[in-house]
Structure 1
Amino acid sequence: MAYNSGMNQLTFVLPYALPAAELAPDIIKALQAPALAALLSRTASEQFHRADNASPLLPHEAWLASALSQGAGPAAQAMRGFGLSPEPGARYFLIHPVNIELARTHIGMGDARQLQLSEADSRALFETARPFFDEMGQPLYYGDALTWFMRADAWSDLQGPSPDAAATQDLSVAMPEGEHARPLRRLQNEIQMLWHGHPANAAREERGLKPVNSFWLWGGALGSELPGQAQSLHTQEAPGWLAALAEPAQRNATLTTVLAGQSDALLVHGGLIAPALAQEWGLWLQQMQQLEQHWFAPLLAALKDGSLGQLRLVLTHREGWHDSTTSRNAQRKFWRTNNLNALKQP
């Protein structure tokens, strides 16, 4: 399978490709992925990095923030990806409409992907909330159904976890922190009351869907004159804010389109995040089998025929990431037995 011979290196970031440590042995037994086994076993280098527990970001998010030089947060860059124009020097935050509910022992927030929030319902909730934000001098901006933005120049101290980092966690210890944390909570309470009984939510509940009763804020960053999209970034099944960091033509990547470029590329595939957050390991296995067919096997072929010089795999879970590289020469290490043991990380 010959691609463009001009690409030297592809970095493939696959969040939640590492299963939960206590389940990994059984999951790996069930996974039929000989190409991935070869990519992970016949390597030029490999290392496991433990995540910084103080970071508000998941390991793949922190890795990307460093790789893309995002600094404090991705909000301003993501705005540009949606065609918005953040003002230089102004501070913007990402906002995600979510469902927050009281569990038996804690307050929790589910994965927003599971809300099945349509553009029409999101727009209706947005338009109801926008005048309230405008009155406070903190205007709202619409990106897509699950991705909004807020300007709050004075909230430079506010830092909090990403929605994927906060999802399924106890929000009593995951809420954003800083001097303006209390005003944020008051704002969330006001919006919760504003959306209570909203026609869009009433219709959702009639369809058996959870109401959108609050929002999650994170990713604050200053607007600047810097370009908003990373030229090398390609995404597939990525959250809206992350996809917005890539050029529009690179947001629904296939291996053919990625390897068609002449320069090195960075690919983030988010297809494993949702099943991992939901602990739906059967669905996780199905997604991995699709990755084996559509990505790992063709990538292995591309290495062997020389159309890809080097492949770097960054596989993560909540506790850290496994970073390895392989190449055509590395794949000639026939004395190394192909296996998936690299997926068993602490």
Structure 2
Amino acid sequence: MAAGGVVHLLAPGLLGPVPAQLQELVSRRGAYPATEWLLARAGRCGAAPAFLSPWPAAFPGAGAVGVLGAGGEPGEFPWCCADPVHLRPDRDRVMVFAGAHVMLSEAEATQVRDAFNAQFVADGLELRCFGGHLFLRLPSPPSALAGAGAGVATREVAGRHLGDYSGIEAADQEWRRLLNETQMLLHGLALNARREESGMLPINGLWFWGAGTLPAVAGDGMPPLALSDDPVVSGQVRLRGGSVDAPVARYRDLPADQDMIAVWGDADRALCGGDVEGWLAALQAFEADWAVPASEAVARGHRRAVCVYPGGDRGFRLDGHARLRFWRRGGAIRRWLQ
């Protein structure tokens, strides 16, 4: 049997960042021999595939790319991603929560869109919803949202204190004004009372990032297929003529005969929401559903390579050379955590 294509597995949050106390807890809560073997035996590669760099960080035009990935038509307008967040006071600072716990239903997204557009129509701003994701169409040029804050992706600040990012504190005043006024607007929406009654986090903010128009297309080896629910990743593939399908939960559900990008977002969603138990469960799921079968497939020659990108400062390429690196011992998974 000929070896199948290369899988570029985007798994942000797989290895953190998590606090030291949680790193100590990981090994006591489960065993991860296949993940440890994969990380130890894999060759090292860049933090992101060259065709997706600077993923998972923000970049100018990420908003317009996200619109394309979510099924919209960005045209020549500048756009921002507008991700729902929960902002929680923590003494003299503010914590940002995103991810699974602040996802909006279609009806809730419509209410947020309508309230926002009624408030900011005079500013030339329009909130739009594509494929369940919110995006902000900006006037051209997008000077009001070109500050430092718009250059920080939601996953970079979620689960952390807002003030931990010095660029945000010094961000453009118009960006900060929009952030603050949106928080006040959303605080009074009826949907938040219903969410709290149901035990859900209220949506009291939108995080705007990735301002700009569609970037130029470059021929850079992008795989022809992405299995993704991340609109920015999907948009980068569509921008280069590739196709996008729904993500899969397990390695064994991947197509076998072509190069592809696969997005696995369980750990990312948990970390963005500050969900410790959810992140530990995601780590255990990765062991059973991805690390074990991927390692077996590469070892048996059924897959040329699986490249894992956990969103830190390096990636891991598992290929046929892994079995030759016998001197690399896995060790406890905590040694790999950030």
Shorter-chain TM-score above 0.5: yes
Secondary structure of 2:88's partner?
strand
Q: 1: CA distance between counterparts of 2:190 and 2:57?
A: 41
Query: Equivalent residues in 2 for 1:193-342 (5 A)?
Result: 193-223=184-214, 226=217, 231-232=223-224, 234-235=226-227, 239-243=230-234, 245=236, 249-253=244-248, 254-256=250-252, 258-262=254-258, 264-278=259-273, 280-316=275-311, 320-334=312-326, 336-340=328-332
Q: 2: CA distance between counterparts of 1:112 and 1:321?
A: 22
Q: 1: CA distance between counterparts of 2:19 and 2:184?
A: 41
Task: Assess, with a 3 A threshold, how the Cα gap between structure 1 residues 177 and 326 changes in structure 2: closer, same or farther.
Answer: closer
Q: Deviations over 1:90-123 (max 9, x none)?
A: 3211112323232222123222431242211121
Task: Assess, with a 3 A threshold, how the Cα gap between structure 1 residues 99 and 173 changes in structure 2: closer, same or farther.
Answer: same
User: What's 1:143 paired with?
Assistant: 130
TM superposition shift of 1:344 = 2.9
Over the residues paired in the alignment, what is the CA RMSD in angstroms?
A: 3.6
Q: 2: CA distance between counterparts of 1:93 and 1:158?
A: 12
Task: Judge conservation of contact 2:117–2:125 (CA < 8 Å) in 1.
Answer: no
TM superposition shift of 1:134 = 3.1
Q: 2: CA distance between counterparts of 1:261 and 1:231?
A: 12
Secondary structure of 1:272's partner?
helix
User: What's 1:107 paired with?
Assistant: 94
User: What's 1:81 paired with?
Assistant: 69
> Structure 1 residue 158 and structure 2 residue 147: aligned?
yes
Alignment length (residue pairs): 324
Q: 2: CA distance between counterparts of 1:280 and 1:167?
A: 11
Query: Equivalent residues in 2 for 1:22-37 (5 A)?
Result: 22=20, 23-28=22-27, 30-37=29-36
Whichever residue aligns with residue 36 of structure 1, its letter is: T
Q: 2: CA distance between counterparts of 1:118 and 1:226?
A: 33
Task: Judge conservation of contact 1:41–1:340 (CA < 8 Å) in 2.
Answer: no
TM superposition shift of 1:280 = 4.2
> Structure 1 residue 182 and structure 2 residue 181: aligned?
no
Q: 2: CA distance between counterparts of 1:64 and 1:267?
A: 12
Whichever residue aligns with residue 189 of structure 2, its letter is: H
Task: Judge conservation of contact 2:67–2:231 (CA < 8 Å) in 1.
Answer: no
User: What's 1:5 paired with?
Assistant: 3
Q: 1:17 aligns with which of 14, 23, 30?
A: 14
Report percent identity of matched pairs: 22
Q: Deviations over 1:160-212 (max 9, x none)?
A: 21112122333245487599822233333443443343232232233343332
Task: Judge conservation of contact 2:163–2:169 (CA < 8 Å) in 1.
Answer: no
Whichever residue aligns with residue 15 of structure 1, its letter is: P
Task: Judge conservation of contact 1:25–1:344 (CA < 8 Å) in 2.
Answer: no
Q: 2: CA distance between counterparts of 1:166 and 1:105?
A: 17
User: What's 1:55 paired with?
Assistant: none
Q: 1: CA distance between counterparts of 2:50 and 2:183?
A: 30
Segments of 5+ residues of structure 1 without an aligned counterpart are 50-58
Task: Judge conservation of contact 1:309–1:327 (CA < 8 Å) in 2.
Answer: yes
Q: Deviations over 1:209-238 (max 9, x none)?
A: 3332222110112136759xx6545345x5
Secondary structure of 1:339's partner?
coil
Segments of 5+ residues of structure 2 without an aligned counterpart are none
Task: Assess, with a 3 A threshold, how the Cα gap between structure 1 residues 36 and 333 changes in structure 2: closer, same or farther.
Answer: same
Q: 1:66 aligns with which of 34, 48, 54?
A: 54
Task: Judge conservation of contact 1:243–1:251 (CA < 8 Å) in 2.
Answer: no
Task: Assess, with a 3 A threshold, how the Cα gap between structure 1 residues 27 and 342 changes in structure 2: closer, same or farther.
Answer: closer
Whichever residue aligns with residue 322 of structure 1, its letter is: R
Task: Judge conservation of contact 1:235–1:269 (CA < 8 Å) in 2.
Answer: no
Whichever residue aligns with residue 7 of structure 2, its letter is: L
